[in-house]
Structure 1
């Protein structure tokens, strides 16, 4: 019984410390007395929590505030630079590594191509690159852990990549492998889930019900409901690219027919461009590539769009129709407050955004769509690294997403 009481006391202390840290992080500079009032806890509890946070380097005193009489209060501020974390973002084509501070700002970054590696060979390459990066990082401070994001079906609790069709990863216990390798605490999360969390925590979308959709070398989504990530039984919720929209379509690598992935991912669009060039259809993309079709990428496609290329415009319109149909299903099913469009194909593609918005307006249930915020992703090209940081930081500090929007 005494042990239980001791455990309860420690839990309450940890919760109070988390509350105090979050309030300092979101509303600092702030005084101890204001922390007590805003958290509805005693000044002595605040003083104890703050003493620990200063000792551990998470909080610093930065001067004095104004006073209505008596001694001026000392102000406290979150210190994100006394600790750091390692983030690893695996995409279907790249491994991106970074050291980041506790506000998800990048301190050092390196990017490497996957070069078609799959399965066991990919994991070996990942460990080699991570070894080199950790060894070469010379920043000061204390490391709080390593966070990895990867596309596919991922168990965040087990830290296992259950299934990724493009990378041929099946039942890979990444968390266990990397914790044994580095002696650090390791987090593993699906990349779309992590970016949804990051857009909520660090981006322009402070909504507790949001859906993030990414169009790149694959098509995925992260779904946040009442500030909780929708994961499903095996961590497979949000496989938006593998929802079927066309039973007369082509067979997808997942085994199904007519998946969205087969019509609007970059792989599908690239195939359409090459076919058009092969059949003699005039397009600026051929000129921009200089005849080297391996150089054709989403940025070249979007440049052709900006210059009014008919092929690029035609493909963009087709993508908008398919994507719009898929999004209307999500809007009608989940009624999100905000829906975010990201990934290489969407970044800077305002025409796509406008066409999809128009499609939603025409086809979604008006009561569900009329006041929904719909926009392009706000975190830029480092979104998956920021996502990895968001996963670790939320777990490490128990960051309240609601508090972060105050």
Structure 2
């Protein structure tokens, strides 16, 4: 019993020390002892183990005072790599990051259809290719996390993906039978919320992320933990009915929020009005600048519906921070001021609202961060990333 307790305490101490090295590194052993409130002997023993495992490295820093230069400890960022996958309905985006969450490689594979078996094979081929590509590192690919644009149960079964029309798919098991690595399946909005917490809002414990691309999903962190609900379906706010007897939805009901406030619904509407089947964000930006009547009217209507849904969410959950993951809203400079005005009432209350800086990278980065957290067995994870890393990360169709 005593051995078990000692082993458990060592594991807890290791996780604590490693999380502080990640957050504050490079950091000296003496500073670690102060931050963690652990003894210097415990710090030294754990550091020796982490060095032996090749998870951390030692280095000297600039030191102007008289005396011995302190030896600094840092995470060995290239000791392993995390693979995050954003499985949407038009394409699959793959993100590989180092152990500090910095993306080092991204790929996008377009999907020709929703055939489950064909998509499984794409995933298997890509995962195997990444395992080979990063096999030179000490740990290789340390985990795979896949973001699903649909409902995922607490035991990681895909319950329903509206765009693909998938029901009850055990993607985790189907992949693990073919690749020698642990696979985690999670709702994409949950991963986006986790990414915002890990990379941007370290101190925030009550955060909501609204992902607004191919549909609308909500990730909700309460007291720092994801809220998933009884079966794991919490956060499906895209299927909140805001227009009784409105447009029919793939979920089987009518008038769902995502039919009026998702980006795919907006682009579909504008494409029909302008008779232009292919439009991108730059096109919308230019049309807004030109004050195109059809686009301005559609944007006003879009923002109205976005605000209605946000007002409902704020009244229901009273969040500290709201993050809107939308590239479309960035194209309309007045969008946030209008939204803030629309949701300001004597009842609704929140602290702050932002448009996400992570954008379409959020799901993949959140997936990588979760893989890192699981691999290192950390109680908490805070990472800082240079925004330029996202800009310069090269995308291609398939791994090279």
Residue 243 of structure 1 and its aligned partner are, at CA, apart by 0.3
Unmatched 5+ stretches in structure 2: 385-400
Q: Normalising by structure 1, what TM-score?
A: 0.87
Deviation by residue 1:352-388 (Cα, 9 ceiling, x = unmatched): 2222111112x3625x23xx11111021332221011
- For the Cα contact (< 8 Å) 2:22–2:100, is it kept in 1? no
1:380–1:252 Cα change, 3 Å: closer
1:129–1:75 Cα change, 3 Å: closer
Residues 1:386 and 2:383 aligned together: no
Which one of the candidate residues 214, 231, 240 is aligned to 2:228?
Answer: 231
Distance 2:250 2:220 in 1: 23
Distance 1:128 1:148 in 2: 15
SS at match of 2:277: helix
1:304–1:198 Cα change, 3 Å: same
1:348–1:57 Cα change, 3 Å: farther
Distance 2:332 2:30 in 1: 48
Residues 1:365 and 2:344 aligned together: no
Aligned-residue Cα RMSD (Å) equals 2.4
1:247–1:113 Cα change, 3 Å: same
Residue 269 of structure 1 and its aligned partner are, at CA, apart by 1.9
Residue 206 of structure 1 and its aligned partner are, at CA, apart by 4.1
Name 2:333's counterpart in structure 1.
350
Name 1:338's counterpart in structure 2.
321
What is the 5 A alignment of 1:120-269? 120-137=117-134, 140-143=137-140, 144-155=142-153, 158-203=155-200, 206-269=203-266
SS at match of 1:341: strand
1:349–1:197 Cα change, 3 Å: farther
Distance 1:318 1:403 in 2: 38
Distance 1:339 1:232 in 2: 19
Residues 1:377 and 2:375 aligned together: no
Residues 1:300 and 2:297 aligned together: no
Residue 117 of structure 1 and its aligned partner are, at CA, apart by 2.0
Deviation by residue 1:68-122 (Cα, 9 ceiling, x = unmatched): 8864432212221221122221112111123210111122221011123243333
1:95–1:171 Cα change, 3 Å: same
Distance 1:214 1:130 in 2: 26
Question: Which one has the bigger helix percentage?
Answer: 1
1:397–1:12 Cα change, 3 Å: same
Name 2:394's counterpart in structure 1.
none
SS at match of 1:237: coil
Unmatched 5+ stretches in structure 1: 278-285, 287-292
SS at match of 1:350: coil
SS at match of 1:142: coil
Q: Normalising by structure 2, what TM-score?
A: 0.88
- For the Cα contact (< 8 Å) 1:208–1:225, is it kept in 2? yes
1:252–1:95 Cα change, 3 Å: same
- For the Cα contact (< 8 Å) 1:200–1:401, is it kept in 2? no
Distance 2:128 2:252 in 1: 36
Distance 1:205 1:376 in 2: 17
Distance 2:253 2:150 in 1: 16
Deviation by residue 1:17-51 (Cα, 9 ceiling, x = unmatched): 11111111111222112212221111111111111
Residue 226 of structure 1 and its aligned partner are, at CA, apart by 0.7
SS at match of 1:295: coil
Which one of the candidate residues 308, 311, 315 is aligned to 1:325?
Answer: 308
Distance 1:193 1:257 in 2: 25
Distance 2:152 2:135 in 1: 31
Distance 1:19 1:316 in 2: 47
